[in-house]
Amino acid sequence: MNRLQAFAADLLQREGALVEPIEPEGLEVLAPPALQRAIEIPELCRLGFGSTLPPAARRVGIEADWLARFARMIGERGKWTRRVLRPSNPPLAGVERLLEHELALPNAIYRLRGIGAAWTRYLIFDFRFTALSDEKREGLLRFGVNLATGSMLDGALERLLQRLDTEEEASAPDDADLPPVWDRARILGVVDRALRWRLQRQIAPFAASLQRRSARDQARLYDYHNRLLQDAARRLAALPEGDGRRERERQRSVAIEREYRARLDDLARKYALKITAEWAQTLELVMPVQRLDMLIRRRKGERLVQLDWNPLARRLEALPCAFGHAGDGTRLVCDDALHVVSPAGLAGCGGCGRPYCRVCHPGRCPKCGRPDAAPTMSADQDCHPANPG
């Protein structure tokens, strides 16, 4: 069976249909009345999934029509799923070397305080996005967050998800110290920021190509209208004072300028980029990890943070960024409150050039007051790694 055929057979059977595979790449379906109505098929029908159809079969492909019918059948099911896994979680060896290799913390020092088995809860989100301009881009965006530490899962996510299919469903022991599910506002805060950054990155090549084409069209418009204006100016200069045709040339120049502005507006509309993201599904994943307690020191300050090592992905998760929920990469620590942020969160001000912490000073530079163009967050949304919930 091809994949779509297997998927359809599975789904139809769950909905109470009797399903029999037929050759080539088809299904014979006996559907109960509710299912007949839901996806507009008769009681007895044949469906074909390959390039050659069985006799008297309807063709089922990934055309929007059939996807919409399947979506109607599935409804809200699967939008929220919860899995509890209990893979082997042996003590971690060579932690110091692992930290040296994985932790990029150039302006602070850290010390490992302890390590041990723990439980955590992840939320893994799928969003569908559309970027619409004179062209359209669509895609899926997936990211996850560890509710115990606040870490985003970027570097570990793909390997983790690959392992999910082969893991047995389990249950957590009664004494498992699970982090609580965050409240709605906190989750939305993380999703909003995480989505923004990842969308920006995903769409960057598309946005750059729009920008290039827009600049090229603007240059063409300018050249064309500039030539017309210069011609009009030349004709005007050739006419003697008091000649009635001079006024007509002046009028023409005004009209050319007006036309130029209108065409520029058209271009701006044509290349305007509208991005929408729609939530598709969330997976709650409960599983054991190895938890590292670490002390981070910067100047005279210090703070505790926790980092998890995921035994399925076999990866150390990244330190959470208090500014933008960035995934992997370098982290810097701010002087005043020891916020751990990605380099963008401690970047130089666009006005005075002085670096400042975007979590301590959301929105604008404390030195010169210039508003920050990058997305900002308020301090109460800080996903403090040592203080979940």
Query: Least CB distance from residue 363 to Zn ion, whole Å?
Result: 12
Candidate residues 152, 203, 287, 357; the one interacting with Zn ion per rule CB under 5 A: 357
CA separation, residue 290 to residues 169, 308, 317, 335, 367 (Å): 20, 6, 11, 29, 42
Query: Least CB distance from residue 359 to Zn ion, whole Å?
Result: 4
Of the ranges 19-27, 31-39, 264-272, 339-347, which one interacts with Zn ion (CB under 5 A)? 339-347
Please, which residue, 188 or 368, has the CB nearer to Zn ion? 368
Nearest to 110 by CA among 96, 129, 120, 126: 96
Query: Least CB distance from residue 375 to Zn ion, whole Å?
Result: 16
Give the DSSP H or E segment for 28: strand 26-30
C-alpha–C-alpha distance, residues 296 and 303, integer Å: 5
Of the ranges 20-28, 129-137, 349-357, 378-386, which one interacts with Zn ion (CB under 5 A)? 349-357
374 touches Zn ion by CB under 5 A: no
Query: Least CB distance from residue 380 to Zn ion, whole Å?
Result: 13
Candidate residues 360, 362, 364, 372; the one interacting with Zn ion per rule CB under 5 A: 360
Query: Least CB distance from residue 230 to Zn ion, whole Å?
Result: 43
352 touches Zn ion by CB under 5 A: yes
Nearest to 333 by CA among 108, 169, 183: 108
Candidate residues 359, 377, 382, 383; the one interacting with Zn ion per rule CB under 5 A: 359
344 touches Zn ion by CB under 5 A: no
Handedness of CA 281, 287, 290, 296 (dihedral sign): positive
Please, which residue, 193 or 291, has the CB nearer to Zn ion? 193
DSSP state of 148: T
Helix/strand/coil (H/E/C) assignment for every residue in 262-315: HHHHHHHHHHCCEEEEEEEEEEEEEEEEEEEEEEEEECCEEEEEEEEEECCCCE
Of the ranges 50-58, 194-202, 286-294, 356-364, which one interacts with Zn ion (CB under 5 A)? 356-364
379 touches Zn ion by CB under 5 A: no
Number of residues that bind Zn ion (CB under 5 A): 13
Residue 322, classified by CB atoms within 10 Å of its CB into exposed (0-12), middle (13-18) or buried (19+), is buried
Nearest to 294 by CA among 154, 105, 147: 105
Are 323 and 384 within 8 A, CB to CB?
no
Partner residues linked to 140 by β-bridges: 128
Of the ranges 224-232, 279-287, 313-321, 331-339, which one interacts with Zn ion (CB under 5 A)? 331-339
334 touches Zn ion by CB under 5 A: yes
349 touches Zn ion by CB under 5 A: yes
Of the ranges 53-61, 153-161, 267-275, 343-351, which one interacts with Zn ion (CB under 5 A)? 343-351
291 touches Zn ion by CB under 5 A: no
Cα three-residue angle 223-225-231, rounded to 5 degrees: 100
Are 152 and 144 within 8 A, CB to CB?
yes
Candidate residues 27, 190, 332, 365; the one interacting with Zn ion per rule CB under 5 A: 365
The answer, yes or no, to whether the previous bond of 24 is cis (omega within 30 of 0) is yes
Give residues in contact with Zn ion (CB under 5 A). 334, 337, 339, 349, 351-352, 357, 359-360, 365, 367-368, 370
